[in-house]
Amino acid sequence: MSTKTQVFPVIWNQDRVLLIDQNRLPTEYTFVEISCCEDMAQAIKTMIVRGAPAIGVAAAYGMYLGAREIQTDKREEFLTKLEQIAEMLRQTRPTAVNLFWAIARMLRTAYESLGTVEEIKSILLTTAKAINAEDLQTCQAIGDHGLKALPSKPHKLVILTHCNAGALATAGYGTALGVVRSAWRDGRLERVYADETRPRLQGAKLTSWECVQEGIPVTVITDSMAAHCMKQGLIDAVVVGADRIAANGDTANKIGTYSLALVAKAHNVPFFVAAPLSTIDFELPSGNKIPIEERDSSEIYQVGNTLLTPAGVEFYNPAFDVTPAELISAVITEYGAIAPSELKQFQTKQMV
């Protein structure tokens, strides 16, 4: 793929959705066809599609696919069944707030539409496509605003990122990796350091894959190497994505982000969160109430078919942690780089 080719992880194709199967990357670049809402829910749950913004886009299409299957011309019956579909999709990934935001927007569209059931279905598809297109534009804006937030250095920058917040995790440009892309485009980037991101290895598998496709120099390190790299002066800034941001700026992201923020603070390295405004959960005053998804222990004790630990060991596998707002230099949104303490003033701009 050349730098002119864009990765789109969620594509509407005639009457179905095509998802890049991220479980098969980086060795296989394949698509999964989704034509019913149950399959979309399973794809989200099993991480065929992942990343909060991409999950939101996928859920929006899932709502339409579910609506398309409802066999009634009675408005109230249709809306009742649509609520059931929404609840099924909500159960797939509890931490990623974009999922809930997209579902809420689709439901609001249905309730506010005064036409026939068939007309409501058509409007839902239009809305899902709009959510898709808006996310792409939003991420491009995040990337450009990130350029202004990055530190000024006499040399090109080296940016460290964690997990995957790139095109694969969004509608096609990226949040954290969107900042990286914009910096590379403008000649301000020297290299990306990508944490491997245990236990799912999204950094090693996905972030590095995206960088290689675009010719961006990338170095993969284990999660435990970040402190050493900062001490050696190798890192100019850290940019990560987010799955949910509380109203005070506390941020839930892939497990390991909190420790990375602590290390960055200790070494005076700026730590940025890049995310669309839809990732901010203004209903939560702080990160203490953010639900943390726990995943199957097999993600820890085996890689492929190879067991890593002896029998009798117990496991704890939270998929996310919460970084306190005081460790975050700024939240880079489509409206600019915002201090965590200033996020609340943007609540009215968040459309549902």
Region for 77 from its dihedrals, namely left if φ exceeds 0, alpha if ψ lies in -120 to 50, beta otherwise: alpha
Q: Give the rounded distance of the alpha carbon of 324 from its chain centre.
A: 19
Residue 165, H or E segment: none
Predicted confidence at residue 181, as pLDDT, reads 97
Predicted confidence at residue 5, as pLDDT, reads 56
Report the percentage of the chain scoring pLDDT > 70.
98
Question: What is the average pLDDT across 103-127?
Answer: 97
For every residue of 125-136, DSSP letters joined together read HHHHHHHHHHHH
Nearest alpha-carbon partner for 317 in 290, 304, 299, 291: 299
Question: What is the average pLDDT across 53-64?
Answer: 97
Query: Between 344 and 348, where is the model more confident?
Result: 344
Query: Residue 182 pLDDT > 80, yes or no?
Result: yes
Kindly report the average pLDDT of the chain as a whole number.
Answer: 95
Predicted confidence at residue 2, as pLDDT, reads 38
Domains and CATH numbers, the chain: 10-138 (1.20.120.420), 142-349 (3.40.50.10470)
User: 198 near 229, Cβ under 8 Å?
Assistant: no
Predicted confidence at residue 250, as pLDDT, reads 98
Alpha-carbon dihedral angle through residues 170, 44, 95, 24, given to the nearest 10 degrees: -70
Predicted confidence at residue 4, as pLDDT, reads 47
Predicted confidence at residue 6, as pLDDT, reads 74
Residues with catalytic function: 243
Q: Which residues contact 127 (CB under 8 A, 6 or more apart)?
A: 60, 64, 105, 106, 109
CA distance 241 to 202: 13
Predicted confidence at residue 116, as pLDDT, reads 96
Query: Residue 350 pLDDT > 90, yes or no?
Result: no
Predicted confidence at residue 209, as pLDDT, reads 97
Question: What is the average pLDDT across 257-262?
Answer: 98
CA distance 181 to 188: 10
Question: What is the average pLDDT across 297-322?
Answer: 95
- Looking only at the bridges linking them, the beta strands covering 251-254 and 271-274 are unpaired
Predicted confidence at residue 128, as pLDDT, reads 98
- Under the banding of pLDDT at 50, 70 and 90, the label for residue 3 is very low
